[in-house]
Every structure is written in structure tokens, then in C-alpha cells.
């Protein structure tokens, strides 16, 4: 059941113990949009990691060190 009196999102049961939702729909929509963007950036990062591994460019965690060695970073 919904404890907030309204269902603004799927599986929204009003759980916000720290009050980060701000109490307004606009603030909550802003945070939801931010989480969607963060998820998309994370998915894009995974694609980049997998591409580097599949192309044989070495482990992804050493990419910054190799760029610095060439004087580019």
C-alpha cells in the first residue's frame, strides 16, 4: 500500500527516511531525472571499458597512466 497518499512512481511506497525528496513533486522529479542521467553515463562507461578490453588496448584501469606517459595528460 502507498503510505504517502499518492503513487508518483512505480514501487513508490514513500520511503524517504532522510527527507531527500524535498517534499515537492518538482524536487523529486529533479532527483529522478538526475538518477536517470547518472545511470546513462554509467552504461556509457561500461561500453567504453568493454570496447577497450575487446580491442586489446590493455586493462581499462591503466588508461590514464598510459596517456600521462605520452605527455597528453
Q: Which residue has the higher pLDDT, 9 or 25?
A: 25
Q: What average pLDDT does this structure show over 36-53?
A: 92
Work out the pLDDT band at 69, boundaries 50, 70, 90: low
Tell me if 8 sits within 8 A of 28, measured CB to CB.
yes
CB-CB contact of 48 with 55 (8 Å) = no
Predicted confidence (pLDDT) per residue in 48-66, tens digit: 888 888 888 778 777 766 6
What pLDDT does 37 receive? Answer: 96
Q: Residue 51 CB: number of other CB atoms within 10 A?
A: 11
Amino acid at each position: 500500500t502507498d503510505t504517502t497518499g499518492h503513487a508518483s512512481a512505480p514501487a513508490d511506497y514513500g520511503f524517504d527516511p532522510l527527507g531527500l525528496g524535498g517534499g515537492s513533486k518538482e524536487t523529486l522529479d529533479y532527483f529522478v531525472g538526475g538518477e536517470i542521467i547518472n545511470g546513462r553515463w554509467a552504461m556509457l562507461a561500461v561500453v567504453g571499458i568493454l570496447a577497450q578490453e575487446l580491442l586489446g588496448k590493455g586493462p581499462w584501469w591503466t588508461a590514464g597512466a598510459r596517456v600521462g606517459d605520452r605527455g597528453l595528460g
